[in-house]
């Protein structure tokens, strides 16, 4: 994937290469994954209000920037030197800053924590959850997301082929992990909406993948379709809304001590 590099960066901002470990904006071929993550940041930003929020394992920094649009302060934390330098130079607001350190050693108290699409990367998720609980104190809130094993990996597999992932979760496994550390656990699912839902139905019911392969239009179609995907082509739903978490793309947990 390293041949994909961010396009059209502001002057003086070094572009990042797509390695598969993190998602990036400004890479047309990566737009599906970027928008799928972006919708969650936008959803969290609506909920954090005028509070201080920390974005752990912030990567490129786009999510921290989204949170800063609503939060009184947003702090992005990442240990990668290239990601840190890029984020520091690209996203500059009076209420945003970036800290280069490990998630395991960051120790600033805060009102809310976002830890998105990263817990599947860590060897000791319980220790990370305890660290997060300590950061938010007794009255804070955490948002922790992870992909759904059932929709990420091949049917029957215990893990996808992503080499960066240590453990991928089913809904019940994820809930059990979280409840061991937080008294309040509410899990939302991320699902396709709008044109992505129509595309999903076409694949499942009309065998659209075989049709465009037969017509030899697969690459031209996705070269146009993928960059056109927006955050609004995803939606978050909870089990209280009747959502089936087994069909979710990602799980987004809202946690309180």
Q: Give the model confidence (pLDDT) of 53-108 as tens digits.
A: 999 999 999 999 999 999 999 999 999 999 999 999 999 999 999 999 999 999 99
Q: Name every residue whose Cβ is closer than 8 Å to that of residue 255 and which is 6 or more positions away in sequence.
A: 129, 132, 133, 141, 142, 143, 144, 178, 181, 182, 184, 185
Q: What is the mean pLDDT of residues 143-157?
A: 95
pLDDT of residue 69: 96
pLDDT of residue 220: 75
Q: Give the model confidence (pLDDT) of 190-229 as tens digits.
A: 999 999 998 888 776 556 566 566 656 677 777 888 999 9
Average pLDDT, the chain: 93
State how far the Cα of 38 lies from the Cα of 188, in Å rounded to an integer: 15
Burial of 249 (0-12, 13-18, 19+ CB in 10 A): middle
**Domains in the chain with CATH codes:** 28-192+236-256 (3.40.50.150)
Decide if pLDDT at 29 tops 60.
yes
Decide if pLDDT at 149 tops 80.
yes
Whether the predicted model's global pTM rises above the 0.75 cut: yes
């Amino acid at each position: 994937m390293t041949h994909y590099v961010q396009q059209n960066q502001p002057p003086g901002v070094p572009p990042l290469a797509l390695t598969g470990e993190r998602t990036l904006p400004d890479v047309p071929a990566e737009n599906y994954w970027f928008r799928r993550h972006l919708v969650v940041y936008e959803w969290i930003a609506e909920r954090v209000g005028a509070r201080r929020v920390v974005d752990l394992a912030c990567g490129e920094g786009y999510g921290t920037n989204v949170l800063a649009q609503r939060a009184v302060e947003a702090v992005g934390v990442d240990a990668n030197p290239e990601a840190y330098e890029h984020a520091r130079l690209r996203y500059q607001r009076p209420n945003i800053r970036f800290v280069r350190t490990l998630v395991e050693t960051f120790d600033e108290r805060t009102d809310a924590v976002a830890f998105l699409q990263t817990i599947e990367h860590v060897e000791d998720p319980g220790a990370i959850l305890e660290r997060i609980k300590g950061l938010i104190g007794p009255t804070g809130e955490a948002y922790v997301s992870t992909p759904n094993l059932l929709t990420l990996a091949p049917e029957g597999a215990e893990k996808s082929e992503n080499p960066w992932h240590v453990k991928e979760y089913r809904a019940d496994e994820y809930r059990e992990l979280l409840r061991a550390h937080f008294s309040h656990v509410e899990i939302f699912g991320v699902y396709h909406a709008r044109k992505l839902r129509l595309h999903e139905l076409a694949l499942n019911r009309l065998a659209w993948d075989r049709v465009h392969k037969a017509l030899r239009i697969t690459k031209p179609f996705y070269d146009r379709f993928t960059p056109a995907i927006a955050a609004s082509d995803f939606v978050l739903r909870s089990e209280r809304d009747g959502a089936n978490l087994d069909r979710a793309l990602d799980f987004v947990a809202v946690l309180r001590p």
